[in-house]
Structure 1
């Protein structure tokens, strides 16, 4: 990938560049800031650090005399100034390798230790150009692609009515999506930017399809836009969309707030969970269309949560969890029996109630708006993977929140609230729904135990493994229903169930 060049017309442009790169860099990145005195290296570094800390008042002293200044931020940063370095070998004494292994290294005057810096570094060469500066950014292709992406988002904001907006990291998730909070320069209310680049195809697994296709994972932002339209039309609190680039996967959407359904200690707030269950009852009371027009040229067909999708998700248990747990792959016989059991369970769903599934309806994706009334207090986000499938799935997702332990008393209250509202429909079959709830709970938790291992081993995100014991507790609850006895017996035979299995 060729080097990236930008003209920086003034100091504000240099600050903006620092803020933009704070959204693109990751732990392990080394940034070499090259340029003469007064080129703007320290201005860039200060803006970068303040953006990463989301603290415009952060003290950023020059490390000219100390040689290195460290910052314990969302991503740890070590700011090096090598102007007074006598020899490149002194870099080891400054703890450079350790700092780089844990976070980001910003290096001013990199020429003083050129032979000791990583070959894979990113270089920002800043030169005077008339009344401004010209920055040339070079480095490995994967790092330049990240930088190019954040600069493309800046250009998108400038084109769509948000010039000079202040951008701050909001969150990332288990996918490639990321979110920013956008503060317009005119002081108007904040917005949320969804950065959702198109998925890259993975290895072909079956029927000529890769995992995202089989599991119906959204590969661009069109499904989000379509389902958002549907939810808003139903009178539910989904975010309005203010600007979009469907091809690049960039949306500016309404900021529904930052309060969730957990308290400050991360524990569930009963009222908010119960109202969320009532919202699902409201959503399931009216059937969803199979297709939604996004514009004159694009129609989104909501995919079915079909046999292929259910089974490819449950296979994460045999493909990822079992090999990690036992240190050897699942046998062919184990995989075949597991698949046959799921074929039988999925057959039970014939004739079951189906409707729109938001798919990940749990605490990270629910906003609480205290100032509103009724169900309007519940803000919905992150529903791009929505499908048509058994209504019990989202109820299982909420009652068995993957990120927080739900006490049995609250689980009972949520289920009672949902059932009470659904009984108004004479067509609602409560007994079948409760069976389906256990089945969908088992399907979801078989998927999750594999996902936690995959995130750790493939994606370098070990933090999700803390959810494993909870997921197994939920799975055991699901397997208590008589219809799931074949799966319960298989889990016992393979050693999946047991007090030590979730460790």
Structure 2
């Protein structure tokens, strides 16, 4: 990604009191947003550039302020120029949950317990000022699988049967997600910062927040596309959430429903990032996501969607071990 410093940034930073700071580009995420760490003698800050018209910092700002006002650790907003797509943020440091666990895997259970506890805290709040996670949105996301993965594999599938299978699977959980909780939608080990101890976790990448089902972010955390979570840890954290939150009797099956929906969506997104956006590194994650999807499809609640996959996607293209040969050769 182009990491040239935005032309509008120097006067913006001067007005914010950060003129002359050393500038360090930070590798970005799957979006068009760019990040720069600013360093000076008395501290650091992060500059986010969300360039219009493709990006809009307003949803990020709205969600960050709501989270901070309700006791969750989003970065504080130090300055903003939404017209230029510039936001100066509190710096949570350089230690993400992902890299910490790479170095200290023995702490996995403790680190994940704190992340689950943060979700429990979030879910005790009334839902934030965000749009409802509707069936139409779930369907739009799930369709990314057949819009991107299927064509690149030479599979031309029936949209009607796909939509009907997902409606049968997701329909029952819609009533159970009312009145809903704030869903951050990308809550995983690369978006959780550990800047002051394992229990001081900072949140990133929540600009797409919606009001939806409490299982969604738990799935995002425990069925992580970017790192392997020990299945024993996943089961323990699911049980921890259910026990501590008082979740209802259908929570575990809704966790599987949303796990399958999310993992199908992610496979489609990762293929899109390769084909449309020229980011082939995301293909390396697909075998892990396939394995998670297959686990979710084995749950009885997923039977209609599992039958669709059995009928439309050959076993050779569902190999979770990564033995896909040249399927994604680039």
Tell me if both proteins adopt one fold, taking TM over 0.5 as the criterion: yes
Aligned pair in 2 of structure 1 residues 177, 275: CA closer, same or farther (>3 Å)?
Answer: same
The answer for unaligned runs of 5 or more in structure 1 is 1-21, 25-148, 201-218, 291-301
Q: For 1:393-441, what per-residue CA distance to the aligned partner results, in whole angstroms no more than 9, with x for missing partners?
A: 1000001011001111111122122122102xxxx31x22112111111
Q: 2:46 maps to what in 1?
A: 192
CA contact (8 A) 1:160 1:243 kept: yes
CA contact (8 A) 1:261 1:273 kept: no
The 2-side partners of 1:220 and 1:436 are apart by: 32
Residue 288 (1) aligns with residue 127 (2): yes
What's the Cα RMSD here?
1.9
Match of 1:436 among 223, 237, 254: 254
CA contact (8 A) 1:182 1:190 kept: yes
Q: 1:359 maps to what in 2?
A: 185
The 1-side partners of 2:314 and 2:35 are apart by: 36
Q: 2:241 maps to what in 1?
A: 418
Q: For 1:435-475, what per-residue CA distance to the aligned partner results, in whole angstroms no more than 9, with x for missing partners?
A: 21111111101101111111111111000101011101110
Residue 245 (1) aligns with residue 67 (2): no
- Which one has a larger percent helix, Structure 1 or Structure 2? 2
Aligned pair in 2 of structure 1 residues 265, 254: CA closer, same or farther (>3 Å)?
Answer: closer
Match of 1:176 among 22, 32, 39: 32
- The within-5 A match list for 1:372-391 is 374=199, 377-391=200-214
Match of 1:400 among 223, 226, 239: 223
CA contact (8 A) 1:402 1:470 kept: yes
CA contact (8 A) 1:266 1:404 kept: no
- The within-5 A match list for 1:161-172 is 161-172=17-28
Match of 2:136 among 308, 312, 315: 308
Q: 2:284 maps to what in 1?
A: 466
Instruction: State the SS of the aligned residue for 2:309.
Output: helix
Residue 159 (1) aligns with residue 15 (2): yes
The answer for unaligned runs of 5 or more in structure 2 is 325-330
The 2-side partners of 1:163 and 1:476 are apart by: 52
The 2-side partners of 1:194 and 1:361 are apart by: 19
The 2-side partners of 1:496 and 1:284 are apart by: 39
Q: 2:328 maps to what in 1?
A: none
Instruction: State the SS of the aligned residue for 2:156.
Output: coil
Q: 1:350 maps to what in 2?
A: 174
CA contact (8 A) 1:356 1:386 kept: yes
State the 1:199 CA deviation. 4.4
Residue 23 (1) aligns with residue 3 (2): yes
The 2-side partners of 1:339 and 1:477 are apart by: 21
CA contact (8 A) 1:317 1:446 kept: yes
State the 1:370 CA deviation. 3.8
Residue 235 (1) aligns with residue 71 (2): yes
- Which one has a larger percent strand, Structure 1 or Structure 2? 1
Q: For 1:199-218, what per-residue CA distance to the aligned partner results, in whole angstroms no more than 9, with x for missing partners?
A: 43xxxxxxxxxxxxxxxxxx
State the 1:176 CA deviation. 0.5
Q: 2:57 maps to what in 1?
A: 221
Corresponding pairs, count:
315
- The within-5 A match list for 1:441-456 is 441-456=259-274
Q: 1:275 maps to what in 2?
A: 114
The 1-side partners of 2:101 and 2:215 are apart by: 29
Alignment TM-score, normalising by the size of structure 1: 0.60
Q: For 1:342-376, what per-residue CA distance to the aligned partner results, in whole angstroms no more than 9, with x for missing partners?
A: 1222321232132100100001100013447x4xx
Instruction: State the SS of the aligned residue for 1:161.
Output: coil
Higher relative contact order (CA 8 A, sep 6+): 2
Match of 1:483 among 301, 315, 320: 301
The 2-side partners of 1:315 and 1:175 are apart by: 19
State the 1:154 CA deviation. 1.9
CA contact (8 A) 1:169 1:181 kept: yes
